[in-house]
Chains A and B, each alone.
Chain A
Amino acid sequence: QQQVKQSPQSLIVQKGGISIINCAYENTAFDYFPWYQQFPGKGPALLIAIRPDVSEKKEGRFTISFNKSAKQFSLHIMDSQPGDSATYFCAASNTDKLIFGTGTRLQVFP
């Protein structure tokens, strides 16, 4: 019940395209859903986060869509750029202990 399932494992997108990463959770007590971006050799960095009282949050080219009834949330990266190439992790928590998904390796080609 503490798992967060993430898909796809890897994603290849052309520059300017839309990257979509999906996550699903089981524990309905989770009330905070962040997305982290991790470059090789670096620690994860918070990209954007959402709480279950809203269905969508947008920050620049990054949007989280949240479906509480389906217990799913997704990250959309609009106008994907080569600099977005990284590994993305979804996470969930109801304290500050983060439960991470397995990660999605995104490659954006020019």
Chain B
Amino acid sequence: DAGVTQSPTHLIKTRGQHVTLRCSPISGHKSVSWYQQVLGQGPQFIFQYYEKEERGRGNFPDRFSARQFPNYSSELNVNALLLGDSALYLCASSWMPGLAGVEQYFGPGTRLTVT
């Protein structure tokens, strides 16, 4: 079975532009979470979606938004990009949200560079 897939692998954008990152969860998983990992730091929670509904949001500005589609894939959108948005964006899927101890499987991430 394929793991969590993310696209694109790498992306270079200019300040002020918009970006869309995509994630496909493991087959059978209905929950997708997004994390931002700045170089040298641990991942930080951005969003969680389950059954197309937002179930959690981290401390990120409104420039960040996401959605989940009927096939459980997800998009993360970032508007008005800032240099500080440069990071590895990770998608994680799980079969059930809201339960500690349910393993989250991470994708390889999308490396976003903002110049």
* Contact status B106-A44, CB under 8 Å: yes
Using Cβ atoms and an 8 Å threshold, which residues of chain B touch A97?
33, 45, 48, 56, 58
* Contact status A98-B56, CB under 8 Å: no
- How close is B9's CB to chain A, nearest CB, in angstroms? 9
User: B100 in the interface, Cβ–Cβ < 8 Å?
Assistant: yes
- How close is A49's CB to chain B, nearest CB, in angstroms? 7
Do A96 and B104 form a contact, CB below 8 Å, given A43-B90, A43-B109? yes
User: A42 in the interface, Cβ–Cβ < 8 Å?
Assistant: yes
User: B99 in the interface, Cβ–Cβ < 8 Å?
Assistant: yes
A30→B98 CA distance, assembly (Å): 13
A51→B100 CA distance, assembly (Å): 9
Contact with B along A79-96 (1 / 0, CB 8 A): 000000000010101111
* Contact status A96-B42, CB under 8 Å: no
Interface residue ranges, A against B (CB under 8 Å): 4, 6, 31-32, 36, 41-46, 49, 51, 89, 91, 93-103
- 4 pairs of A and B residues whose beta carbons are closest in the complex: A100-B42, A43-B106, A32-B100, A32-B101
Interface residue ranges, B against A (CB under 8 Å): 4, 31, 33, 35, 40-45, 48, 56, 58, 90, 92, 94, 97-109
